[in-house]
Amino acid sequence: MSTEIAPTQAYHNKQGMLSLSFSLFLFSFQDMVIKSFSDDYSVLQIVFIRSLVALLILCSFAIVVGGVNALLARQPALLLIKGVIYFFAFTFYYMAFPLLPVADVVAVTFLAPIIVTLLSIVFLKEYVSFKRWLAVLTGFLGVLFVVGPEGKIYNFGTFLALACAFTYASGSVITRFITRGDQPLIIAIYSMLVLMLMSGAGYLIVLGLELKTGVNPALNFLVRDWVRLEGRDMGLLLLIGCIASAGFYLHNRAYLIAPASQVTPFEYTYVFYSVFMAYLFFSEVPASTTLLGLITLVSSSLYIWYQGSGRAHSGKRTQAR
């Protein structure tokens, strides 16, 4: 029996890795399009239209495949809470684009896996060894490599990237309470629904408070008036809506069909995709300190993952005995 199961699990692991890597490739392209819009449109308008397009695609597919009942979630409350937290994480992330190079934003936000470790101590009462604490401190050192030179630590974009890291990490902790009862398609649908509703509500708040653009590019990206999109820009926005539907589905699918220990390291392919595309689209060349910080962050985060994965496997072997 084991000889039949092993090849099947290996196939699922491979499919999970490919799904995750391709979803992150799609997200990196999407993020470059959003960055290109940061001087002309509102981030709330971009997120609203993108989420609306993705929601229509995902809902249509779900109904065709499984009927209306396929839209029902088993844990709607947790999915909605996770969606709200991720809305703030994505908004902070996109708002940092006008102020910092893409590589710097990515580097700072990749503190998230390290912050997850800290939050797990507080909320999940997890034990953290000295080696993992050392990896956490090394990760923070990596961020200092990125933001220390040229006064970037005082840049508002750095604050936004850090806010993204904290909120994204909080959403990741909540994800640990979500069982596998909901399929990746329904998780993606709820994510798009919340992002659409939150971005629409955000714009109503901007209108109600009569917030106006000023001298800060990041805040301008948030409070800018919504405008009519036409031609190439409208086509690109529809395209990233399609990309979002595929990306969110594939990302959730990866963690459903394969163990997290197998696919998590591939999260870091996003770093290389983003750096490459930032060079391709905006001719951004990362500073040597940024590259050093990225290497430090990725190494420390992978070590934290390895320690957690190794302990989990050790526990399973002990239980098996």
d(CA 321, CA 315): 10
- Burial per residue of 276-300, b for 16 or more beta-carbon CB atoms within 10 angstroms, e otherwise: ebbeeeeebebbebbbbbbebbbeb
- The pLDDT value recorded for residue 53 is 96
Output the pLDDT for position 38: 92
Q: Who contacts 208 (Cβ-Cβ below 8 Å, separation ≥6)?
A: none
Spans of all domains in the chain: 25-316
**Alpha-carbon separation of residue 259 from 15, 23, 253 (angstroms):** 11, 17, 11
The Cα–Cα gap between 106 and 85 comes to 18
First and final C-alpha spacing in the chain: 20
Q: Are 200 and 48 in contact (CB under 8 A)?
A: yes
Amino acid letter, residue 44: L
Residue 14, classed as helix, strand or coil, is helix
Q: How many CB atoms lie within 10 A of CB 190?
A: 23
pLDDT of res. 4: 47
The one-letter amino acid code at 154 reads Y
Q: Which tokens sit at 47?
A: 């997120």
Residue 18 three-state SS:
helix
Distance from C-alpha of 184 to C-alpha of 66, rounded to nearest angstrom: 13
- What is the spatial distance between Cα 38 and Cα 98, in angstroms, rounded to a whole number? 6
Are 25 and 250 contacting, i.e. CB atoms less than 8 angstroms apart?
no
Q: Block means of pLDDT (10 residues each) for the chain, length 321 residues? A: 56 82 93 93 96 95 85 85 92 94 86 75 67 72 68 78 89 67 83 95 92 89 91 93 92 78 74 89 86 80 66 43 35
Residue 134, C-beta contacts closer than 8 angstroms, at least 6 positions apart: none
Whole-number Å distance between alpha carbons of 68 and 137: 49
CA distance 241 to 192: 10
What was the pLDDT predicted at 266? 76
Query: How far is 105 from 162, CA to CA, in rounded Å?
Result: 9
Predicted pLDDT of residue 320: 34
86, 150, 233, 260, 298 from 173: Cα distances, Å: 12, 34, 36, 14, 19
Output the pLDDT for position 253: 84
The rounded distance, in Å, linking the Cα atoms of 271 and 267 is: 8
User: Looking at residue 319, what is its pLDDT?
Assistant: 36
DSSP string spanning 138-167? Answer: HHHHHHHHHHSGGGGGG-HHHHHHHHHHHH
